[in-house]
C-alpha cells in the first residue's frame, strides 16, 4: 500500500472516531447504518485547518482564470450562489438553461482541478473503476451571507456509478437531505469547514439543498462566506 493510501486510511479512521460529535451536529440520524447503506457518508473534520488553508490558496489561483459568476435561471432569475469550476467541464446556468460546458462563460477553458482536491477524491475507496479516473468537474459554489440552494438532484451527469464528493470550506451551512423522489421527510445537519460528504449508491440521486449559512461562524475566509466544492464524473 502506498504511503498516501496509508495516510488516507488513517484519516478515515480518525474521521469515524469523530462521529462522537455527530450527535450535537444533527448528524446522528444521517450517520446511522441505514443511511450509510444508502450511500450517504459524512466525514466530519476530514480536512484539518492546514489542509483547508492550502485548498483556499489553490482555489484562489483557479478563480483568477475562471472568476465566480452569478448564474441566472432560464427565466432570468439570479441564483444566490456564485459559481465557477475546474476540470474538463463546468456546470453553468443562463437564459439558455443549465448544462455542462467545456468553457467558462468568458470563453477560457476551465483550469485544471488542483492536485490537493484530486487527492481527496482518490482518497475514498469504492470508486467503481480500478482505473482511478479523475473527476471531470469540480464545481465551485460560493455562498455569501444570504445565499442558499434549493432542493435539487444532481442529475445532469451521464454516469451515476461514481459518487458525488462534496467538500465544505468556511462558514457553517445547514444542509438538507431528502429522498430520491421529490418531497417526503427530510433531515438536516450543519456542515462545517473541513467536512467531506460522499453521496453514492441510492443517495447519489437524492434531493438535497442548503437552507442557510451561519455567516462568520468560521475564520477560514477573511470576508466570510462558504465555499463548497462538488466533485463529479460527468460523461
Ligand X SMILES: O=C(O)CCC(=O)C(=O)O
Interface residues toward Fe ion, by CB under 5 A = 154
Question: Which of 117, 139, 196, 203 is the binder for ligand X (CB under 6 A)?
Answer: 139
107 near 67, Cβ under 8 Å? no
Query: Given the complex with Fe ion, which of 11 and 168 has the nearer CB atom?
Result: 168
Q: What does 66 bind: ligand X, Fe ion, none (CB cut-off 5 to 8 Å by kind)?
A: none
Integer angstrom CA distances of residue 151 from 57, 120, 181: 30, 25, 11
d(CA 194, CA 51): 8
The number of beta carbons lying within 10 Å of the beta carbon of residue 235 is 10
For the record, the C-alpha cell of 234 comes out as 460527468
Question: Which of 84, 93, 218, 230 is the binder for ligand X (CB under 6 A)?
Answer: 230
Geometric angle at alpha carbon 226, from 210 and 76, rounded to 5°: 60
**Residue 226 marked as a ligand binder:** yes
Q: What does 175 bind: Fe ion, ligand X, none (CB cut-off 5 to 8 Å by kind)?
A: ligand X
Is position 22 an interface residue for ligand X (rule: CB under 6 A)?
Answer: no
Is position 166 an interface residue for ligand X (rule: CB under 6 A)?
Answer: yes
178-207 residues in contact with ligand X (CB under 6 A) are: 191
Question: Which of 52, 84, 218, 228 is the binder for ligand X (CB under 6 A)?
Answer: 228
Query: Given the complex with ligand X, which of 11 and 227 has the nearer CB atom?
Result: 227
d(CA 129, CA 146): 39
DSSP state of 110: P
Report the interface residues with ligand X, using CB under 6 A. 139, 141, 149, 154, 166, 173, 175, 191, 208, 210, 228, 230
Amino acid at each position: 500500500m502506498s504511503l498516501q493510501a496509508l495516510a488516507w486510511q488513517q484519516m478515515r479512521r480518525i474521521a469515524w472516531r469523530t462521529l462522537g460529535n455527530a450527535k450535537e451536529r444533527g448528524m446522528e440520524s444521517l450517520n446511522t447504518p441505514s443511511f450509510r447503506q444508502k450511500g450517504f457518508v459524512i466525514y466530519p473534520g476530514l480536512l484539518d485547518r492546514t489542509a483547508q488553508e492550502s485548498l483556499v490558496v489553490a482555489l484562489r489561483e483557479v478563480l483568477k482564470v475562471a472568476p465566480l459568476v452569478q448564474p441566472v435561471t432560464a427565466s432570468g432569475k439570479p441564483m444566490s450562489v456564485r459559481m465557477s469550476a475546474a476540470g474538463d467541464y463546468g456546470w453553468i446556468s443562463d437564459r439558455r438553461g443549465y448544462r455542462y460546458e467545456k468553457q467558462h462563460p468568458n470563453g477560457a477553458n476551465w483550469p485544471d482541478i488542483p492536485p490537493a482536491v484530486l487527492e481527496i477524491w482518490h482518497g475514498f475507496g469504492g470508486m467503481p473503476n480500478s482505473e482511478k479516473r479523475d473527476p471531470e468537474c469540480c464545481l465551485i459554489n460560493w455562498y455569501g451571507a444570504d445565499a442558499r440552494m434549493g432542493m435539487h438532484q444532481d442529475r445532469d451527469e451521464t454516469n451515476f456509478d461514481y459518487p458525488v464528493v462534496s467538500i465544505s470550506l468556511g462558514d457553517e451551512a445547514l444542509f438538507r437531505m431528502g429522498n430520491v423522489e421529490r418531497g417526503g421527510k427530510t433531515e438536516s445537519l450543519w456542515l462545517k469547514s473541513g467536512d467531506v460528504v460522499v453521496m453514492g449508491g441510492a443517495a447519489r440521486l437524492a434531493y438535497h439543498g442548503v437552507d442557510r449559512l451561519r455567516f462568520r461562524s468560521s475564520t477560514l475566509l477573511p470576508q466570510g462566506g462558504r465555499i463548497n466544492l462538488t466533485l463529479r464524473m460527468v460523461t
